[in-house]
C-alpha cells in the first residue's frame, strides 16, 4: 500500500496545488489540521505562503506543534516547502518570532544593494547549486532550476545541513537536510518536471 502523506493545513499555504502535484505522481495524500491524522501518517509535508509569526501562532492555536514534534521524533520524513522550511528554524526576523527549532538556523530578509536588478521578493526561476548528495535530489542535475517566491531566506549556523545554495546578488540556502527533516525554499509544485522529480524522491524516502 502506498505511504500516506499528511499535508498540514495551518490556514496559510498553497495546499491544493501541492496536493495536485502529489496526486499526479500517484501519492496518497490528505490535507489535514487533525493532529491524530498527522500522527498516523508515514510522511508529513509542511507547506506555507505568508507571514512567519502568524504561521507559528496558527500552529499553536490549532494544537499542531505536538503532532509535528512527534513526527520529527518518530523520524518519519518531513518536507518543508517555502515558509514551511523557514518555520523549521530557530527564529525569524519576520515578526521577530521563534520557530520550531528543528534546524540550527535563522530566517532573515533579503538585503540587496542593487534593488533594480534584484527585486524583493525574489520571484521566478533560479538555479540550485547542490552542495552535497541527498536522496531528495536523486537524478536531479546540479544547477537545476526551480521556481521561487520569497522575501526571506534561511541562514544556517552549520554547513552540514545545507543541501543547495542559490545566487540572488549573494548566495543563500535554498535546500536543507537534517536527519529526517528536509526543506526547500523554492516551490517544487510549481517547478514542472524537476519539481515533480523532487516530490517523487520524497515519496521514496
Angle between helices 15-24 and 192-203 (to 10 degrees): 80
Q: Is residue 67 a contact partner of residue 38, using CB atoms and an 8 Å limit?
A: yes
Residue range(s) defining the domain that contains residue 125:
4-203
pLDDT tens, 87-137? 999 999 999 999 999 999 999 999 999 999 999 999 999 999 999 999 999
CATH at residue 74: 3.40.50.880
Domain count, the chain: 1
Annotated catalytic residues are 82, 187, 189
Grid coordinates of 52: 512567519
Taking residues 141-161, report their average pLDDT: 97
Amino acid at each position: 500500500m502506498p505511504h500516506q502523506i499528511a499535508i498540514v493545513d495551518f490556514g496559510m499555504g498553497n495546499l491544493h496545488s501541492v496536493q495536485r502535484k502529489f496526486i499526479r505522481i500517484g501519492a496518497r495524500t490528505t490535507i489535514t489540521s487533525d493532529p491524530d491524522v498527522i500522527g498516523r501518517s508515514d510522511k508529513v509535508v509542511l507547506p506555507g505562503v505568508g507571514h512567519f509569526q502568524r504561521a507559528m501562532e496558527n500552529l499553536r492555536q490549532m494544537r499542531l506543534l505536538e503532532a509535528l514534534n512527534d513526527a520529527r521524533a518518530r523520524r518519519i520524513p518531513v518536507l518543508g516547502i517555502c515558509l514551511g522550511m523557514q518555520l523549521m528554524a530557530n527564529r525569524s526576523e519576520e515578526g521577530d518570532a521563534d520557530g520550531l527549532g528543528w534546524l540550527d538556523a535563522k530566517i532573515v530578509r533579503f538585503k540587496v544593494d542593487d534593488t533594480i536588478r534584484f527585486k524583493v521578493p525574489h520571484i521566478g526561476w533560479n538555479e540550485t547549486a547542490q552542495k552535497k548528495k541527498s536522496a531528495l535530489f536523486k537524478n536531479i542535475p546540479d544547477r537545476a532550476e526551480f521556481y521561487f517566491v520569497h522575501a526571506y531566506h534561511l541562514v544556517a549556523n552549520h554547513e552540514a545541513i545545507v543541501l543547495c545554495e542559490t545566487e540572488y546578488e549573494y548566495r543563500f540556502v535554498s535546500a536543507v537536510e537534517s536527519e529526517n527533516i528536509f526543506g526547500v525554499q523554492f516551490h517544487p509544485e510549481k517547478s514542472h518536471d524537476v519539481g515533480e522529480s523532487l516530490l517523487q524522491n520524497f515519496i521514496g524516502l
